[in-house]
Every structure is written in C-alpha cells, then in structure tokens.
Structure 1
Amino acid sequence: MSDVNERPVIFALSNPTSKAECTAYQAYKWSQEKAVFASGSPFDTVKLNNKEFHPGKGNNAYVFPGMGLGVIIANAAIIPNELFLTAAKTLAELVSDKNLEDGALYPPLNEIRAISLEIALAVGEKAYELGVAKNKKPKNLRQTIKDYMYNPNY
C-alpha cells in the first residue's frame, strides 16, 4: 500500500482484536510510518522512532449518535441517503491535520460529544433543507440540540 500511496489508509476492521487484518503497530511499521489507521477494535498508542501514533477506532460511535440526534430534533419523516452523506462529510471535516499526522483517521473518541453535536447540527440543517423535517425549525438549532443532549452529570 505504501509503495503506491503517499498516506495509505488501512482499515483493520475485523473483530475481535485477535482477528484484525493487522495491528496498528504493523500498519505503521510496514508503511514506514506513513499509514493512517482505523480498526474495529481498540489498539493502544504506538511508539516508533520517537514518534507516537494514535490509531483510530472505526465504528458507528462516530456517526450514529449525531445522526440520530439530528433526525430526532428535526422529527424527520424519512431518512434519505443525503442525511447519511451529510453526517459522513461532517465527520470528515472534523478530522484535523494533527489527527492525520498522528496516524489516526478519526478525531479522538474522547471528543465524541462535540463531534455528535456537529453531526446532529449538520443533519438537522439538511433535514430542514430537504423538507423532511416535521418539527418547526428552532431559532437556534445548535442550542436546541445542546439542550436535548443527555448530560451524564448528576
């Protein structure tokens, strides 16, 4: 992969971890540290040649919470493919150059609440734009979504 791609994207998505197509360490080492990696199971940070790589975990935790929240807030009558495309594009826009430099295909999972908010906002906006929303659009869609999000603090 790294012979024909400047930054090969490696998806080792098989579960459990013991069945993964390769480990994060192998992907970074075999690609001379050029790989961008995502797996279906968690892998620890990899250290090679005094550099840290942070493997991404590619699963539905990134798209589905924000997707569902955007659909619920808009009360979408249907869920057309455009809403899923909007969610995917929004997630892609949230991937920073630093994430890619660190060898990760996604932002850190510990940022999932902020990621879900941005995806929900984009999906909600798209639902209103497409005319599939049954709820009246709030004046401040972002704040409405933030207020609706579950807060685990007691």
Structure 2
Amino acid sequence: MSHEIAWATEPTFEESPDGRVIRCDYNEIGIPGEDGTHDKVVRICEVALALSPRSDIAASAARAPNGEVVGFGGLPLAEKQIPRANLPAAALPEWNRRWRDAIAIRVAAPTYPGAAFGPLAQQRGAGDDVRDQRGESRGRAGRGAEATHRGRS
C-alpha cells in the first residue's frame, strides 16, 4: 500500500464485531489540514478495500510524526472507519451511467423538433383518417374535403 499512495503506512488487519477491518494510516507531514488530508484518508480507505476483498471495513487516520492522531482541540482532523457498502466500486457508478444513457436513447425522441412537435403531429394526423357516413374522407388532406370545398365555391 505504501508503494501505491505516498505517506501511507503498511496495512494491518483486525477482527471486530462488524467484520474484518483493514487499517492503513496516513502520515501527515506539514501543516495539518492545509493539503486535503481528509481526501487522502478517504482515498486510502478506497484503495485498501480494493486491495482486500475479504475486508468489510476500511479504517484510516491522519497521524503526526509522533504516531498520534492529528487533531485540533481534542477532535481528530481526519479519522475514518468506512464500511464497504459506503464506498461503492468505481465500476458501479459507471455501470449506472451506462444504463441511464441506454434508457435515454431508447425513450427519447430522435430530434429536438420531434420531441417538441411529435405529440401535436400525431394529434393532427388522427383526424385525417376519419370518414363520414358516405365513406369519404373528411380530413384536411382527404378528397372529400376538396370536393366539398369545390362544390361551395
């Protein structure tokens, strides 16, 4: 792990009532909290769970050079214990995006005008095939409409 992420300690494993825990801490060097320590601790948890498929929880903390957890006023700066369910693999969100895109392609209108005017065109087209009692079409494009119009002029 220390070869993958700079300043990460070697991982250790422990058993807890919630399951197997992989712990890998971050050695905080410099001014605490100034360089995205929280994000680095969360990234260590993600990598730790990826490297240990049998672990249920990833734990990490930002530690000072003396080994103590870095904090201010008795509160830790970045100390995490994250269950696997709360850190989905990167493949899962990508899979969801692909499904969303596939559904959008199947459901969406092929063009913007088709989406805007499609229902209106379908509604107008429904009246074109209506026939009167004599069997002639009464739609605006039908022959009966032209004959009626010519007969009145």
User: Which range, TM-score by smaller chain?
Assistant: under 0.3
- Between 1 and 2, higher relative CO (CA 8 Å, sep ≥ 6) is seen in 1
TM-score (norm 1): 0.28
Higher strand share: 2
Instruction: Return the index of the structure with the highest Cα Rg.
Output: 2
TM-score (norm 2): 0.28
